[in-house]
Amino acid sequence: MPTLIGAAMIAAAILLSTLINSLGSRYVGFESPTEESAWLVDRLTGHVYKCHAPQPGRASCEAEIATGSVGEQHKR
């Protein structure tokens, strides 16, 4: 019985650390060719945002509709 309790505690710790890690790295940013805009991807929901910052400071982000997937490869 103590073995099962220990295994359950380890499993809970692994699941909790995975949840914390995924929430900590929720957003991924991609730079665009111009320095004024960038793309922000929400890993949790899959939404894509185009952020625009003409001057230093906070950027304004608008949701963009994207189709396909990142890294999609064509089969030959």
Q: Encode pLDDT of 8-56 as tens digits.
A: 999 999 999 988 877 777 777 777 666 677 778 877 777 888 777 777 7
Asked if residue 75 is part of any domain, the answer here is no
E strands, the chain, in order:
27-31, 37-42, 48-52, 60-64
Asked if residue 9 is part of any domain, the answer here is yes
Asked if residue 42 is part of any domain, the answer here is yes
Asked if residue 69 is part of any domain, the answer here is no
Asked if residue 76 is part of any domain, the answer here is no
Q: Is the pTM of this model over 0.85?
A: no
Q: Shortest CA distance to 51 belongs to which of 43, 40, 65, 67?
A: 40
Please, are residues 51 and 38 in contact by the beta-carbon 8 Å criterion? yes
- Count of domains for the chain: 1
